């Protein structure tokens, strides 16, 4: 079993506006990104379709030979983050904790696959 040596923390939020793709390209270049984890719900087919369209649109700014795009289940992370935050009102801190939980799920799924090899 692999011992965790990484800290899961999102870089920051990217607003969905006319600068979205410029911001993503900047982050990829600045941090030498090798994998992009995109969150999606298991249900909500309309949201899944929008996410797939977004993933396809990333073809304009990334080279898939150098950068992998992976999807991560985001179901119930808001509930989990609320439990962690308990009495705090919904705000950016809750969304950050949700993002951390999703990244943690993704990281753990990678290690589980490695452990099976």
pLDDT digits (tens, 9 = 90+) for 13-48: 778 889 999 989 998 888 888 888 888 888 888 888
* Residue 82 CB contacts under 8 Å (≥ 6 apart), including other chains: 90, 94
Residue given tokens 């090899």 in the structure block: 117
Q: Confidence class of residue 111 from pLDDT cuts 50, 70 and 90?
A: low
Q: What is the mean pLDDT of the chain?
A: 76
Residue given tokens 């911001």 in the structure block: 23
Tokens representing 35 are 């994998």
3-state class (DSSP) for residue 108: helix
Evaluate if pTM is beyond 0.75. Answer: no
pLDDT value at residue 92: 60
Q: Report CA torsion sign: 82, 86, 91, 94.
A: negative
């Amino acid at each position: 079993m692999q011992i965790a040596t990484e800290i899961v923390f999102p870089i920051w939020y990217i607003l969905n506006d006319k600068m979205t793709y410029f911001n993503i390209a900047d982050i990829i270049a600045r941090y030498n990104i090798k994998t992009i984890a995109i969150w999606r719900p298991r249900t909500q087919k309309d949201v899944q379709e929008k996410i797939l369209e977004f993933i396809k649109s990333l073809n304009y700014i990334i080279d898939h030979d150098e950068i992998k795009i992976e999807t991560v289940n985001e179901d119930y992370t808001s509930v989990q983050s609320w439990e962690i935050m308990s009495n705090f009102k919904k705000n950016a801190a809750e969304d950050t904790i949700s993002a951390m939980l999703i990244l943690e799920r993704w990281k753990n799924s990678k290690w589980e696959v490695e452990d099976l090899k």
